[in-house]
Structure 1
Amino acid sequence: MTKVHVITRDNRHLYEDPLEEYFRLRHEVFVKERGWRDLHRPDGREIDAYDNGNAVYLLALDQDHVVGGQRLYPTVMPHMLSEVFGHMAQRGIPRAEHIFEWTRYFVIKERRMGRTDCRLLAAVQEFCLQEGITELTAVVEMWWLPRWQQTGFKVKPLGLPTVIEGQPCIAAAITISRESLDQVRRLAGLRDSMLVRDDQMSPVLERVPHVAA
């Protein structure tokens, strides 16, 4: 059964191969499939300045292969919304130790008709509840909004839609809640946690700087 593995700087050395696969799949999905040409790299790896020791990855693994993934990053540090898409958040950019940015989410083509998507969405809610993260920010295509509504996510737009790479996109904040987790778990057919995490992993918020960058 597919499990979602939590990867931080504490255990990153144990996941070198899955992370490499994740970066290559990001290139396949975001550059080749979605046409985000600015992300093209000749080595076929989609990787950016936020793939550093502050990033948290939640990777869906099936028999040691990545079938989906997502990245979380502290908002008190320079991040994608603050540095690249700030113009999309006319209502202001939420920044706090307990607010993280949510980026680079995907499910591989072969698994999009199953429950992998809902399991990844359940995983991000569960992880954030465990870690004391109360809100996520994201810049996404508009088609995400009805999808999030179906899964019980509570979403607040941060500004007006903007066209990016030919697609209308929006900056939004997502509230983390037990109710949202329960709803998406029902859709995913989950009764228990599907997170795999190292017991020795330090709490994520302990590593977040206490002042905004």
Structure 2
Amino acid sequence: MAVVYVINERNRHHYRDVIDRYYSLRHQVFVGERGWRALASREGREIDAYDNAEAVYLLALDGERIIGGLRLGPTTQPHLLSEVFSHLASFEGVLQGADIYECTRFFVARDDRSGRTNCTLLAAMQEFCLSQNINHVTAVVETRWFARLRRAGFEFRPLGAPVLIEGLPCVAIAADISEASLATARRLAGLKGSVLVRHEHRNLREQSVCAGAASYQLSHAS
């Protein structure tokens, strides 16, 4: 079963290879598959200004293979919605606050695109946010994601009208984080408890073995 690793500034040096592979996979998904040519890189790694010290990555791994991921960042700092897509928040402006984070670069790898993998990542995001007193998450999503989010138990509202981005209707949203929506996402993903692995000192291979022996392991809050 896949587990989701929390990677932040404090432990990132233990995951250099994982992060490098994650950037390459992001390039494959967003540039190669979705055709976001503005993100193209000669090195084949998709990195932007928000892959900074504040970024928190939740990466789903099956063994050592990355099967999906997302990036979280504080809205109290410059972020994609405030700096690039502020026009999408025309209803009430860009939401910012210590308890509001932005979710970006959500993806599932081509061979693992199932509702279960999506819901595992959504559950991991909510679990992490609840542990950090993050009550809301903003994001720019394709409108087709509305049904998925509602099915996963999310309460959310649009921050503006849909706008075409790369030929697809997209909208900025603010989603509530709650124990109820976490429980729904866990049920849909077939999870009985936490899926997060958060370590400071063990290497990935050791963590994979440990994660397989227990439903989750949690240490050293971010």
TM-score range, shorter chain: over 0.9
The range that moved more, 68-77 or 193-202, is 193-202
Residue matched to 2:8: 8
Q: Kindly tell me the number of residue pairs found equivalent between the two proteins.
A: 202
Cα offset for 1:85? 0.3
Tell me if the contact between 1:11 and 1:201 (Cα under 8 Å) persists in the aligned partners: no
Aligned mates of 1:113, 1:144 — CA distance in 2: 14
Amino acid at match of 1:193: S
Whether contact under 8 Å (1:6, 1:59) holds in the other structure is yes
Task: Tell me the residue number matched to 1:184.
Answer: 185
Q: Partner of 1:87 in structure 2?
A: 87
Q: Structure 1 residue 142 and structure 2 residue 131: aligned?
A: no
Q: Which residue of 2 aligns with 1:131?
A: 132
2:45 aligns to what?
Answer: 45
Paired letter, 1:165: E
Measure how far apart 1:64 and its partner are: 1.2
* Letter in structure 1 aligned against 2:220: Q
- Once the 2 structures are TM-superposed, how far is the Cα of residue 113 of structure 1 from its aligned partner? 2.7
- Unaligned 5+ segments in structure 1 are 203-213
Match of 2:67, SS state, is: strand
What is the alpha-carbon distance in structure 2 between the residues aligned to residue 158 and residue 55 of structure 1?
Answer: 23
CA contact 1:99–1:133 (8 Å) conserved in 2: yes
Runs of at least 4 residues off by over 3 Å:
none
Q: Displacement of 1:201 after TM fit? A: 3.9
Give the secondary-structure state (helix, strand or coil) at the position aligned to 2:139. strand
Contact 1:10 1:201 in 2 (8 A): no
- For 2:114 and 2:67, locate their aligned partners in 1 and report how far apart those are by CA, in whole Å: 12
Q: How does 1:147-162 map to 2 (within 5 A)?
A: 147-162=148-163
1-structure distance, mates of 2:41, 2:144 = 27
Equivalent in the alignment of 1:17? 17
Q: Which AA in structure 1 matches 2:130?
A: L
Instruction: Using the TM superposition, give the Cα deviation of residue 114 of structure 1 relative to its aligned residue in structure 2, in angstroms.
Output: 5.6
TM-align CA RMSD? 0.9
